Amino acid sequence: MGAYLTWGFVPVYFKLLSHVPPVEIVAQRILWSIPLLLVIMAFRSQLADYAAIFRDRALLRNLIASAVLIAVNWVIYIWAVSTDHILAASLGYYLNPLVNVLLGRMFLGERLRPMQLVAVAVAALGVAILIGDALDTLWVSVSLAFSFGVYGLIRKITPVGSVPGLAVETTLLAPVSLAAALWFASQGTGGFGDDWQTSGLLILAGAITAIPLLLFATAARRMSYASLGFVQYLAPSIAFLLGVFVYNEPLSLTKLACFILIWISIAIFCVDAFRTYRAGKA
């Protein structure tokens, strides 16, 4: 649960950096993640696993693709938060589990249970409603849901540990990130090195990337599948509340109707997951 609570309040962190270009934040996030991940892997005796991935071309190809997807996801999310589109970002992560169901059906041959089909149909109706009122931000929600969904699909079929896999992804992105960071520094964009507060917040990006991942990996091992499926909605729920009640984003009737339909689809999805889990335990 700590992982999702951490992710839920991440918009507050990115709001503090709203004066920094999203690409620079992602570049700094990647660069500061690497040393922290190396320390974590050393502590967990995973450095050999990390090095072995670079010698396996098939694994490396998959992680190049996943690295690009997660970088795109981070840039879109940070841009959305910094430009007062937290609700659109929240909707994207509400949609993500349902996108995962569809991707599992399309690429892994997983069969959709009747209640899953109903949940996806209700969510699709909610998204369709937004086309008439919030088309300018709908791309944010859909892009976040599908980029993270395809990222998760690639990581699911790539046999690497969560921490070594993330470490390889950030290492692959490091050259481009370093070039971007140096370019922004030369332009004087108000980013790293311009003042101690901004620099300190950017250094923290490494911990904000790695710590929730470790908490999630721990939760996945210790919590039941049904419980884990439920708490994954904590993060977008917290983001939704922050957007409406803290940052005063406008919530039109159309957007509210969309969210209500998404919440209904999530309820259907969770009930189905819980029943399936209980049946498997019986």
- Indicate whether 56 pLDDT > 60: yes
Residue 125 maps to a domain:
no
Is residue 194 included in any domain, yes or no? yes
Percent of the chain, pLDDT > 90? Answer: 39
In this predicted model, what pLDDT tens digit does every residue of 57-93 receive, in sequence order? 999 999 999 999 999 999 999 999 999 999 999 989 8
Q: What is the mean pLDDT of residues 245-253?
A: 90
What is the tally of structural domains in the chain? 1
Q: Say if residue 193's pLDDT is above 80.
A: no
Cα distance between residue 4 and residue 16, in whole Å: 20
Contact (CB, 8 A) for 205 and 25 = yes
pTM exceeds 0.85 for this model? yes
Judge contact between 128 and 258, C-beta under 8 A: no
Tell whether 200 is covered by a domain: yes
Residue 4: its pLDDT value, please?
55
Q: Residue by residue, what is the 3-state secondary structure of 157-185?
A: HCCCCHHHHHHHHHHHHHHHHHHHHHHHH
Of the listed ranges 41-45, 183-187, 212-216, 219-223, the one predicted with least confidence: 219-223
For residues 163-171, average pLDDT: 92
The CA distance from 81 to 14, in Å, is 7
Q: Hey, what are 201's tokens?
A: 């917040």
Q: Is residue 209 part of a domain?
A: yes
Does residue 18 sit in helix, strand or coil?
coil
How much is the pLDDT for 8?
67
Q: What pLDDT score does 188 carry?
A: 74
Q: Which domain holds residue 64?
A: 2-97+135-223+234-247
Is 198 part of a structural domain of the chain?
Answer: yes
Residue 18, phi then psi, degrees to nearest 5 = -65, -15
- How far apart, in whole angstroms, are the C-alpha atoms of residue 92 and residue 88? 6
